[in-house]
Structure 1
Amino acid sequence: MSLCFYGEATFFIFVTKFENMEYQIIPINTIKRIESWLNSEVGFSRSMFHNELDYISDVYLLGNKFPIEIQDLYLSIKKEEQEIPYPNCGTDEDKYEFSMTVGQNLVLESGNFKAEYIETLWNTYNKNEDEAYEQQDQDVFYAILLIISIYYKYTQTNGYFDFEDYIADPTQLKYSYSVRPDMLRLYKMFHEKKKTKSNIVTIEYNKQKIELTNDDSWFLNMITPYLDKYLGVSTLEEAETELDKDYPSIGKRGRKRENAILDTITLSIYNLLRHSSFAAKGKGLTDNEGNFILELLKYLKLIDEDSPKNDILNLRATIRNLQKYEVRPNWWKIPMCKMSPNNPVEHLKSYW
């Protein structure tokens, strides 16, 4: 369905410009309506916009210290209209929920990327005029603007979003990249229910090798509670999923992922378009969908005009491959570990 940016519109896209910066203003009700899609199909988490959501709560709590125009832009509920307790002692998720409750719009920087251009692409390639898709097309379009803003923030923060001070800490990096995968492999080995004729455990370290008789499984009984506690996973399936997703073995994923962020954006846009009037029921990627995605990727400077990736057949093969190997969009710079005593920051837990 065609979208109209100005005048009598199917829906309006609010865009603010300030000092050569584009700002996308995404209605919070839209995010709530499709958040399940965003979480599972785009890799979105509210923590990506920790500071922006925190600002909404500031506007609510400080009220009249902000101009009325700012309050109207950011808030659906003003403090003088309804007093809602702020969760001072709550988790970050509790605070995000507070902002989503009192908030009207999420205001996001998008660099030089303009909603008007995305709208032009949409109207160029979407020829379906089925009015039954009006609401979903509106939601999907806003979601695409959200992805553009996520990508811009990704480029500005190197994939750390608002948590660089924590997740770029050398100790945390060592834990995330080295210690945790070792612990996950141990967890997997000791929790797999395989028949064995012997309880012997062999340890090789510093050019020495010893065998433990492990009578009554004392070694396993000692180490498994430690792994249970300090990994924060509760089942073998969880450990296997994390190993497969965040620490895949060389060659295990099939096609080498040369540009993970390109894969993330390609898959995210494709997944969203499947909910719109772009998609042909019961069919794979259409030419119009493909052209829209390719033009958008070129606009974001993720592919070049003369790139072999600028081809619908290549795009179809890429999407099939990503689906085959169950690749999921992931925007974060480092693996998002489960919450545990070794990784106590709740807003960094994985979204799976």
Structure 2
Amino acid sequence: MTARRRVAPKLPRKGPGPCIRTVGNGDMFAMHVISLCIPTYNRASLLSELLDSILEQDCVDAVEIVISDDASTDATALTAEAYRPRFRHFKFISQPANIGIDGNFLAVVAAATSPYIWLMGDDDRLEPGGLRRLLEAIERWPQAVGFTLGVLDYDVTMSRPVGVRATPPTQVMTGATAVFSSMPELLGFMSALVVKRDHWNSAIADPTIGAVRNYYVQVVILGRILGESGQWGVIQTPCVGFRTGNDQLQARHGWLDRLKIDAQAYGEIADLLFPHAPETRAVIRRRIFNAHIMARITNAKTMPAPTEGVASAIVFLAKTYGTLPAFWTRALPMLLAPKWSIRSARGFYKKYIRSSGARRASLGRSASGH
């Protein structure tokens, strides 16, 4: 099926700014429309950056903030509570014991009460105007069960753009096959996902959802929501800023196990959602390899520290992706090449090739006058 186009300082609360658009006889944003759902763990300082970026949006009163703290041992609770008076709609949940990434993910969404839920990483941020772009898309396409949002990648300090995620043009797609064939690599990034809450709640009633423990439970839920005829909106303009170099799973497991998590999780998801569609599974497999797997390899080969586990990575990838020509022409040569050569080639590509994400981010920033 083809896509069919159609502890933070207690500062005074900032006003919401003008909310111009109305629906029917009243203000569209008189009540909160979107629950910004933030699962968090031990990231107090980064959480405050995210909340500040939300406060900078106009129409902030259209948002309900829902934070679920997964038994953090830092100042997360104090940081979050300092923001309570600055938001009109605010919930903070403190889990008595750590329930894991997938469990905390489901818990924060379960506490939301808005018609739409926006899943948000605790170390990311909203781009200027991102909230309004989403609200306008919701008004334009009320039939859409959810949205994928454009993403601008930053360095670890969030001070310098380093890339723009390749996102399809702004449009509406129909059905899980069209969405997963066009952008499966974008569906795992939760900060770029918005879903109708009632559809989410219906989907998680499926008992197979509770058995998913691969760190990407949201992707399975989206597939269930879409089915054959669900409509999915795409907003290409960046609405979210992503902090690179801050992956908790990689810090915990190392680059090779992090790579395996992506490969195995998306393989499981493809089998679960498309058991009778080998063509769709093949497309997902190829796109995940080209996006996630190659990114993991590139990061491992350009980081300053020695890249451990190259031989194990070659064996694993040969078994998992050996039938893909790109494994032999791209992944294997990169894994075997000296690190200095990969760093040099990567630097040249990012600086001079206009199609690179870094170059597009630089050109976009220059065009906007930043």
Measured against the shorter chain, the TM-score band is under 0.3
- Which has the larger Rg? 1
Counting helix residues as a fraction of each chain, which structure ranks higher? Answer: 1
Counting strand residues as a fraction of each chain, which structure ranks higher? Answer: 2
TM-score by length of 2: 0.27
TM-score by length of 1: 0.28
